[in-house]
Amino acid sequence: MKLIFSSLLVFGLYLHLSAQEQAFVQEGEYGISAGASHYFGDLNPNPRFNRPGMALGAFFRKQFGNYVAVRVSGHYAFLGYSDKYNTDNEYEQRRNLSFNTNIWELALQGDFNFFKFVPGSEYNRFTPYVTFGIGAFNYDPYAYYQGQKVYLRPLGTEGQGSALYPNRKPYGSMAVCFPIGLGVKYSLSRTTSVGFEVVYRFTTTDYIDDVSTTYAPDAQPHFLPNGAPTLWYALQDRSYETGTPIGLKDRQRGYANQKDGYLLAEFTLSFNLTSYKCPSAN
């Protein structure tokens, strides 16, 4: 009899706690993220993961049930690469190009949980998820020449804007990205969750690194009146720093059929927004 009574008591307590748990509805969450970024493109085509940068972000996620959410996020990331890291490719080492850029991104994503996720729950506090969406980002590649920081986009290093190359238009400072990736999240309590995600950004530009098509050594003047090389000429082909210049007209400088991309791997900390719904009598 005592065993039956104890079983009923435990069962009743379980139902009570379950009802209380279900009474709290996760409406959404806001949070921050931090981790590493990496560039992939004409200077890192293989690819290699040997030049990570910093990534920081903030986000708001609106929850629609326990499985689906829509997220708005903003990110800063630092990207950069150099041909000096391409030690197994003699041509790329001779090419000797490099760049850095700051990325400012705003994105809209859908998140889809594999498992039911209920913050603070004893049994539903963990889930992997997939995420994908669309965004826009700002970039402005630069390099260093004789110790000075030089922005590359205004130079038109591949003949952009030159009358001799009318089909090569100057590229802008904005482009579209398509984030897609995987993540996991774990609820520490009813109010706080942590997570980790890896999200790759496909983009609509091939100029994050200022490298795309072929050399255009006749696009602008080579020398100043004093005989010094123009800044454009010095930066459109830097192979002279490693030996005989290789930047002949129409010779491959980049990979025009492959857009650039970047990846963010971040830890997340979020704070849940919940509402209370009175449990049903049934």
User: How many separate helices (H) and strands (E) can be counted in the chain?
Assistant: 3, 10
Compute the 3-state secondary structure of the chain and give helix, strand, coil in percent, each to the nearest 5. 15, 45, 40
Residue position matching structure tokens 């990846």 = 263
Q: Which pLDDT value is given to residue 122?
A: 86
CA 75 – CA 130 distance, rounded (Å)? 19
CA 68 – CA 183 distance, rounded (Å)? 14
CA 279 distance to own-chain centroid:
42
DSSP letters spanning 98-128: EEEEEEEEEEEEEEEESS---TT-SSSSEEE
Q: Do residues 72 and 28 make contact, with C-beta atoms less than 8 angstroms apart? A: no
CA 132 – CA 177 distance, rounded (Å)? 11
Q: Which pLDDT value is given to residue 23?
A: 54
Q: For the range 274-278, what are the long-range contacts, defined as Cβ-Cβ under 8 Å and sequence gap of 24 or more?
A: 274/24, 274/25, 274/26, 274/27, 274/119, 274/190, 274/191, 275/24, 275/25, 275/27, 276/23, 276/24, 276/25, 277/22, 277/23, 277/24, 277/25, 278/23
Q: For 145-188, how does the pLDDT look when each residue is reduced to its tens digit (9 = 90+)?
A: 999 999 999 999 999 999 999 999 999 999 999 999 999 999 99
Residues 33/48/53/174 CA torsion (nearest 10 deg): -80
Three-class secondary structure of residue 63 per DSSP: strand
Q: For 265-274, how does the pLDDT look when each residue is reduced to its tens digit (9 = 90+)?
A: 999 999 998 7
Output the CA angle 16-19-20, nearest 5 degrees: 85
CA 208 – CA 191 distance, rounded (Å)? 39
Residue of 49, 29, 31, 44 whose CA lies nearest to 264: 49
Rg (CA), the chain: 26
Name the stretches of the chain with pLDDT < 70.
1-24, 276-282
Three-class secondary structure of residue 254 per DSSP: coil
Q: Do residues 120 and 94 make contact, with C-beta atoms less than 8 angstroms apart? A: no
CA 153 – CA 158 distance, rounded (Å)? 10
Please count the other Cβ atoms lying within 10 Å of the Cβ belonging to residue 135.
20
Write down the pTM of the prediction. 0.88
Amino acid identity of residue 33, one-letter, is S
Three-class secondary structure of residue 69 per DSSP: strand
